[in-house]
Amino acid sequence: MQMMEAAGDVTPPPAGDWQTRRATMEATMAAWGAARPMPSDVTAVDYKASAADGTPILLRWYTKQGRSETGTPGPAVLYTHGGGMIHSTVDLYAPVVGNYVSASDVPMLAVEYRRAPEHPHPTPVEDSYTGLQWLADHSAELGVDPARIAVMGDSAGGGIAAGVALLARDRGGPALARQILVYPMLDDRTAVKAPDPAITPFLVWSNNDNITGWGALLGERVGGADVPVYAAPARVADPAGLPPTYIEVGTLDLFRDEDIEYARRLSAAAVPTELHVHPGVPHAFEALAPAADVSMRSSADRIRIITSF
């Protein structure tokens, strides 16, 4: 597992060892957060919502100081954090979300969805959909235009965000203005085929990591015929009717092909789609090298999309 090697563990754990991956990656996320803390001009307020099974779910509402919540309603984003379905938390992602809010002046609601394997599918996506419903239901008091809500996530959170968009479409739920998918984890079938050998040495999220994450979420169904589209959005038969979509991925990312294919299918279904394939960069490239030109360009693109609806 190359990311764990970068974090100081030179012996990657075997496929299926989610405990070691969770402990190591959460330590890495904490170190990254300390290096780039949440901006001082962003305020966070915690709320609770009841999940489908009645469990209280933490929702953290981030706003830039000085924003009026009694003036003209504006846009907002539901953010679902990454973590391979098995690790990371709202607390660990506070700097990530806070920096988006500071740069865009668009408020965001982060969802503390429950993680696999303790809570396999459908819990993570259903918890996140609960967050979307809550945001739409409380839009007036939060100063949000309910027609200007987007979903956004990175990695596993990007896959969950895509699943939330499908649930909203299929259930007639809150209408979404955008889905913003940052190197999203969309297709469990990637875990059951050999990765491109040309990029294997550069993978930050490795094939064994992917096997572990999808296995935690789906168990023995990984790669089979009965995987729900809300768990693996790449499996959707018809993506028509989804909101305008932004997708980005690097050429050295295990998710490269599944993300490009999802963008292609969205475009073929007349969903307005913007795809960025960044040459020569791996998964989570902007966290690994925040000052790199490609990271700066990517950050500018994300802020542009966040402020575009």
**Angle, helix 293-306 to helix 94-104, in steps of 10 degrees:** 70
Tokens coding 218: 């789906």
Residues marked active site are found at 155, 253, 283
Locus of tokens 């509402």:
61
Instruction: Name the burial class of residue 200, with classes exposed (0-12), middle (13-18) and buried (19+) by CB atoms within 10 angstroms of its CB.
Output: middle
* Separation in Å, CA 75 to CA 33, 206, 250, 265, 309: 26, 36, 28, 27, 7
